[in-house]
Amino acid sequence: MVRTSVSLQYKVVELSTVDEGAMERALNEWTAKGWNLDGVQFAMRESSKRPAMAFIFFTREGVAAEPDEDSARAKLLRLSESGSTARMAWASESEPRPPFHPLSAHERLARLAGLDEPEPHEEGLTLEPEE
């Protein structure tokens, strides 16, 4: 006798246009696909009483997926060899890759902020005299 385990599956539908029509279309679409309405949450703006976004939560029973440990391990290995997920998306393995130079968090933030050169790391606390 083969026994399959049943698990509860979850689906979240995000609506950036929150009106009666958009919500009705989303509810009709996903309930027709076998999903059951579980709840709705609204994201509000401080400047308006109208919701900025809505999140509609659905559930349904389904067969639990078996974990594929081999492909997960292979993906982790590729990530560790490349240094980042962005390098995995390189167009072709035959093309040469640009050199990879890891940055510290401080250097990365300095580049994102548009600074030409990051400030040197200072040891200890420097206090300036009061005037």
Q: What is the pLDDT of residues 34-60, one digit of tens each?
A: 999 999 999 998 888 889 999 999 999
Query: What are the domain boundaries of the chain?
Result: 6-63, 67-90+102-116
Which residues, listed in sequence order, are joined to residue 55 by a DSSP beta bridge? 14, 41
What integer pLDDT is reported at residue 2 of this predicted model?
56
Here the tokens at position 102 are 């890891």
Q: Is residue 128 very low, low, confident or very high in pLDDT (cuts 50, 70, 90)?
A: confident
Ramachandran class of 11: left when φ > 0, alpha when ψ lies in -120 to 50, beta otherwise = beta
What average pLDDT score do residues 8-21 get? 92
Which residues, listed in sequence order, are joined to residue 40 by a DSSP beta bridge? 56
Q: How far apart are CA 11 and CA 83, in angstroms?
A: 32
Coil, strand, or helix at residue 17?
A: coil
Positions of E strands within 20-118? 36-44, 51-63
